Structures are given as C-alpha cells and as structure tokens.
Amino acid sequence: MAERKQITLLYQYNDNWIGGTYYIQNIIKALAILEDNEKPFLRILYNSKKSLNSINDLKYPYLEFLFFDSKFLFIEKVINRISGELFSIPIIKKKIKINGLKNLYPINLDIEPSNINGFYFWIPDFQEWYLPNFFSKKEISLRKASQKYLVKKNYPIVFSSNNALEDFNKFYPENKNRKEVLKFVSVVDDSYSKLNISVLKKKFNLDKDYFIVPNQFWKHKNHTIIIEAAKVLKKNKIEFLIVFTGKEFDYRNPNYTIDLKKHIAENGLDDNFRFLGFIDRGEQLQLMKNSIAIVQPSLFEGWSTVVEDTKAINHVILLSDIPLHREQINENCVFFDPNDKVVLADKLVYAMTNNLVTSNFDVKKEQLHFAKKIISIF
C-alpha cells in the first residue's frame, strides 16, 4: 500500500481575522470528503490552547496535533522590530523543532524553513496596492517588502484567486516563483439547520424579515454604504431591518464601529439595525439562511467567506460589483456598485419583493474539486 501523503497545516485561531481561521478549517473539512485512500495524513501545528479547542472536534481520521511555540523572546522581538524598521523583514526566525515535517502551509516569514520538506506561502490578495488609505505606511511597507522577499527567494506561493495571481504577475513581472491558485470552498454540515429560527429571532430581537451583513468590522467591508442606502429607504417610508454580525473592531480604524453606530443614531435608524457582534457559527449560518438575502458590500476581497457560505447554504446574495466577486459567483446573486447608495437601495427593495434564487449550487462538486486541488498542490 502506498504511503499516505502528509500535509502540515499551521493553525492559529484569530477572531480578529476569522476568515483566515475558517480557511484552515475548511481545508480539513474538504479533505475529509475524499475517499479513504486519497486522504492525506494531517499534522496540525497549533500555538495556543484556544487554537486547539477551536479545531480538535473536527472529524478527520488521520490527524496529529503538535504544539508549536511561536512566541519570541523579548530580545528577539527587539531585534526583529529594529530589522523591521530598517528592512521590513524579520532577521530572527523561529525554527520548528519537530522532525519529519512535510508540505507546511501556510508558512510565514517568521519561520525558518530550512528543515521542512516542502512549504508554501499564502498571499490572499493585494488590497494594499488598491486601497492604501486603509493601511498605515508601515503596514504597506511590510507587506510589499514581504512580497519582494518571496520573489527574491523564489519561494512557492499559493494565491486565493486568479485575480490575485494576475496582480502578482503585474506587480512583479520578473518573478519565477512556483504559483498555484487555491479557491477555498466552505464546507458546512447541516447541524446549523436544526437550530430553531424562531428562538434565534427572539434571542436577537429580530421582529421582522431582515437582511444580514455577516462581515467583520474592517473599514474596507464598507458597512457605510449599507447605512447610506438605509437612509434612502427610510426617506421613501419603506420598512426594513438590517442585521450586522462580526467582531466590532478594526485595529487600523479603532473608531470605525463607534462611528457607524453614531451615524445610525443621528439619522433615526436605531430601530432598523441590529448589531449582534461575534456570534456562534451555527447561529450565524441559520440567520443567514433565513434572511431575505445576504448582503456583501466589500470594496475589496481576497476570496470571500461570506460568498462561499452563501453557496454552501444555497441562498441568495446582493454583492458589490468588484472583479473578485465576479470570479467567485454568477448564480443566485445581484451585483451593485459599492459606492452608489441609490442603486443598493433599489436592489434591497427588489429583493424584498422578488424571489432571487434561480438555481441550486452544486456544493458537493465544488467541495470535492477543492479537496482534489489541495492534494494536487501539496
């Protein structure tokens, strides 16, 4: 019998970037779909008890959890801070003291790769090139320096979309890196559907039909256009309710959520919005499934978890007309200009009065393709 392929996944739970957390979880869930002889042996490198607790109930037959201490000593932090200021690249790297690691993904520049048999970096997108006003000068410098370093070292890179791959080739035409595109797919079991929607509506004070915006509160997620469209609906005396979920913090713009709530209050819209915060994953999916429609107004995305979740639960979505979204979905969706409040208001009204579901997504087919693509890369 042939030796089972080994893949090592670096897993660090981060509720400030929950999309990155779900990304690794979906890789594991997708691989579980494969026939037994195709399933790889997975070694999960975790860095905290919180990370382990968030993933150790995943049902996968060939799995090993390995603790990796990713913390740096104080003096190492100081040296890397100085090297970061001077060169935008850390000098001191963590060596993983675990023998026999193969196909580590996604590795980062803090890790010394010399003792690892195969590794792959991950670049989800190049948002800093298009929306630099949402980043500090230091963060832009760090991101671009990291990209240049990967090109210089000719390291293999996985991209989340063809759109990101095209950007990489455009910004770094001299690159000779091995490049792969891995479009992740949400793998959702049906346990969420067993939650009582009436109980959830009562719990979250949802007293009428509603739209849901299930995004973290990063400024580029563009919640502002939702509020501007709501003002148009209010002016036209149209009844509506909009639900926001997601952690209410953007470290780059700490007042972002506070300003959104203030703007809502100043325009007499408090009764039209609910801020639920970071809620249970199953509850979020059931609320999404029972909404009028999901709304995704982002100005930029790497590969949207919201869109993949929409396909996984076979629902309808109103989403911003950006290149990435056009690559990601073309069924059960309505596109809108993410800067036009009147157009969005019209789309919301249209969704209230029309059935937008035109077909069933072949989710199983997409999940299987995702799993086989993982195997082909690693």
- Class of domain 190-361 (CATH, top level): alpha beta
**Concatenated DSSP letters for 329-346?**
--SSEEEE-TT-HHHHHH
Instruction: Say if residue 215 is exposed, middle or buried (CB neighbours under 10 Å; 0-12, 13-18, 19+).
Output: buried
* Residue 205: pLDDT band with limits 50, 70, 90: very high
Match 């980062």 to its residue by tokens. 108
Q: Is the pLDDT of residue 333 over 90?
A: yes
Q: Is the pLDDT of residue 1 over 60?
A: no
Q: Is the pLDDT of residue 85 over 80?
A: no
Instruction: Supply the mean pLDDT for the chain.
Output: 93
Q: What is the pLDDT of residues 242-281, one digit of tens each?
A: 999 999 988 888 999 999 999 999 999 999 999 999 999 9
Angle at CA of residue 330, ends 335 and 125, nearest 5°: 80
pTM as predicted: 0.93
Q: 297 and 338 in contact (C-beta within 8 Å)? A: yes
Q: What is the pLDDT of residues 141-200, one digit of tens each?
A: 989 999 999 999 999 999 999 999 999 999 999 999 999 999 999 999 899 999 999 999
Tell which residue, 21, 81, 78, has the closest CA to residue 51.
21
CATH topology for 6-185+366-377 is Rossmann fold (3.40.50)
Distance in angstroms (rounded) separating the CA atoms of residues 218 and 298: 9
Give me 262's structure tokens: 């203030």
Q: Is the pLDDT of residue 102 over 60?
A: yes
Cα within 13 Å of Cα(324), Cβ side: 26
**What are the extents of the domains in the chain?**
6-185+366-377, 190-361
* Residue 223: pLDDT band with limits 50, 70, 90: very high
Q: What is the pLDDT of residues 9-60, one digit of tens each?
A: 999 888 777 888 889 999 999 999 999 999 999 999 998 888 888 888 888 9
Q: What is the pLDDT of residue 88?
A: 66
